[in-house]
Amino acid sequence: MKKHTLTIAAAVTGAFLCVSSAFAFHSGLVGADGECIFTKAFIQDYESAQKSVDALKSAEPLLALLPKYREPEEQAELEVSIGLVYNQRTGVVDPAKAVAHLTRALEFNLPERTYIEICMWRGGSHEQLKKYPEALRDYIRGLLACSYRDLAGGWPEVLASTVPIYMNSEDPDNPQRVKDYQRYRYAIDLKRFLLMQRYHLIDGVKRVQADGAIADEALDRAVKELTPDTSRYEIISGLMKSENKRPWP
């Protein structure tokens, strides 16, 4: 299926979520300058719809925005948000609908972090539906994405800057120092995120293997069907055979 092309740039603050006054957006989409990509009208309607979802215990307020906001980034945000509502919002959970909307969200070119989260969320909804082979494949997709990152060394500590950084300064070097430290924090936050996701994804694979009576041979076959990169086969197999220790303190 053809993907829609979006301008995406993860904010170097590591926040990843475009945040309005009351609600965080879930697509991870931001402008090339790192600022919120959405219009004020969209933000206002999105916030109002999210409040109504809680009050009505229904996803209809968000669904009603789909025909109104047709820009690719708006459609992507709405599909992710609706999928997440059906995936985990109390009183609204519907795993089949969560799968449908999260699948539509994946038609867009989303940031890697959002892609991994959707693999986890959609896998969980498949699992609730007892569609264990589908859940397995989503969890493996997430693991494959994580496998290309260097996650050695365990849980990283956040260190203070080695040079002075000021909130307001006339020092011409200060803006670059801020950017350098933000880039460092982005890397630390991303590694922490990936370590946590890898832990939960491994746990998910092992759980659906047991609950769905999926043999190791079927798991290996699924990995080979999802990627032609033979170097991943041994990595995923090793993760499954190793003790899955919680990475965070």
Q: For residue 206, what are its two tokens?
A: 């092992």
pLDDT digits (tens, 9 = 90+) for 50-63: 999 999 999 999 99
Answer whether 43's CB lies under 8 Å from 65's CB: no
Q: Provide mean pLDDT across the span 12-32.
A: 68
Query: pLDDT class for 161, splitting at 50, 70, 90?
Result: very high
- Residue 20 pLDDT more than 90? no
Comparing CA positions, the residue from 123, 122, 50 lying closest to residue 92 is 50
Residue 220 CB neighbours (<10 A): 14
- Residue 210 pLDDT more than 50? yes
Q: Provide mean pLDDT across the span 163-172.
A: 88
Q: What CA–CA distance (Å, rounded) separates 19 from 11?
A: 12
Q: Provide mean pLDDT across the span 240-247.
A: 96
- Residue 191 pLDDT more than 80? yes
Q: What CA–CA distance (Å, rounded) separates 31 from 52?
A: 28
**Cα–Cα separations (whole angstroms), residue 42 to 33, 50, 85, 111, 132:** 19, 12, 18, 20, 37
Residue with tokens 């798991």: 219
Q: What CA–CA distance (Å, rounded) separates 89 from 117?
A: 16
User: Average model confidence (pLDDT) for the chain?
Assistant: 91
Query: pLDDT class for 2, splitting at 50, 70, 90?
Result: very low
Answer whether 128's CB lies under 8 Å from 120's CB: no
pTM for this model (two decimals): 0.90
Give percent above pLDDT 90 in the chain.
86
- Residue 206 pLDDT more than 90? yes
Residue 14 pLDDT: 37
End-to-end Cα spacing for the chain:
41
Query: pLDDT class for 197, splitting at 50, 70, 90?
Result: very high
SS3 assignment for the chain: CCCECCCCCCCCCCCCCCECCCCECCCCCECCCCCECCCHHHHHHHHHHHHHHHHHCCCHHHHCCCCCCCCHHHHHHHHHHHHHHHHHCCCCCCHHHHHHHHHHHCCECCCHHHHHHHHHHHHHHHHHCCCHHHHHHHHHHHHHHHHCCCCCCCCCCCCCCCCCCCCCCCCCCHHHHHHHHHHHHHHHHHHHHHHHHHHHHHHHHHHHHHHCCCCHHHHHHHHHHHCCCCHHHHHHHHHHHCCCCCCCC
Residue with tokens 């956040």: 158
- Residue 149 pLDDT more than 60? yes
Q: Provide mean pLDDT across the span 203-221.
A: 97
pLDDT digits (tens, 9 = 90+) for 112-129: 999 999 999 999 999 999
Q: What CA–CA distance (Å, rounded) separates 183 from 171?
A: 20
